[in-house]
Chains A and B, each alone.
Chain A
């Protein structure tokens, strides 16, 4: 099942609705990096609230996804990792180094908002 990607201002929100196969994940990766360019987005939020497992392939793909999006000029925030998922990830030694993770969608939007303001202030100064 493809992941719906919503556009909200200069952000893209990928809201995962059900467990994903490896192929779904790769499709999401390509789709997101393509749309970042098309919409000139500055931020991407990937909402993983519904996932009750994040295996090594998924965490690696999320890492590469964030890196690809960064190279395309946007920032990635992963939101909604559940306590059990977080715990099993660290136990398995899976990391999301270099990727911003925040509690939920609201926090994610707030984070991108802060980044935007920092960018504006920087450009203004």
Chain B
């Protein structure tokens, strides 16, 4: 699902992260961004158009004076490209029509910044820089009329905070998607049920067991018991760093459910600290057939299944059917 969402057409970007027109209108109301603000911003078009080159140059000079941000713009061609984009961005602030297309554009910007790994603090710092520059320009343009300049500055602040909100949302959205993809991957990897011999299963559990994972694990195990007609199951918890009472109860439920399906469960690899925690918690573990390690577990399983492992003795000649003796003919 995450992968398909990534390929969503740019126009649907706002919708895909749950920013419908209602939500956007609500955000503007929250910032008290109204038609007067739009008008004032549009009135600033001349100003931004006139000063865009100087502002952007100053902006990158500022960015490149910090090693942390310099690293993102090493390639001079890339630098030219992003300068062009920043100019468009800067002028776009005063071009009115702050609706769907505007939002999509802002989201795309946020997503690009996230992808190149620009820290959020630098992202915010860029906005602070714009505000400082424009404040200076406005004071310059309205000498002796600070109130007028302040009103315009105010409208711009609202719009920039609107932009910041969209950008940060995009950052969060991308990170969450990455986390979701990784969680899926972990979930798929985390519950292998291995058949090591006919009717003997081993379930190595690695990592933290939470409720959903424990449940998934149990379901997976019960299915495997039916499919492979397992007689014995070894649940190896060597890789489980901590066990709380919830997880202990899940283990017991798994053992009991497996018994109902006719399979015996052996739990192996309970570490000293885990064992101590379980005893301290007072969980009733009398039904738990625990063996020290996986090796011991397999030996116990051999006993139950009446198998015996015998080392091959090389001093006894092997009985091999070599076919007809070539010298006989």
Contact = CB atoms under 8 A, between A and B. Distances in A.
Interface centre among B230, B253, B256, B260 (most CB of A within 10 A): B260
A55 interface: no
B258 interface: yes
B298 interface: no
Q: How large is the interface on A (under 10, 10 to 19, 20 to 34, 35 or more residues)?
A: 10 to 19
B41 interface: no
A89 B260 contact: yes
Interface SS of chain B: helix
Contacts of A103: 225-226, 229-230, 261-263
Interface in A104-121: 104, 107
A82 interface: yes
Q: How large is the interface on B (under 10, 10 to 19, 20 to 34, 35 or more residues)?
A: 10 to 19
A102 B262 contact: yes
Interface string A43-58: 0000000000000000
Contacts of B226: 82-83, 103
Interface stretch (B51-59, B60-68, B89-97, B216-224): B216-224
Interface stretch (A2-10, A25-33, A90-98): A90-98
Contacts of B262: 79, 81, 101-104, 107
Contacts of A87: 218-219, 222, 253, 257
In the A-B complex, the 8 residue pairs with the smallest Cβ-Cβ separation, listed nearest first, are A83-B222, A102-B262, A103-B262, A86-B257, A90-B253, A86-B260, A90-B257, A90-B256
6 contacts: A86-B257, A86-B260, A90-B256, A90-B257, A101-B259, A103-B226
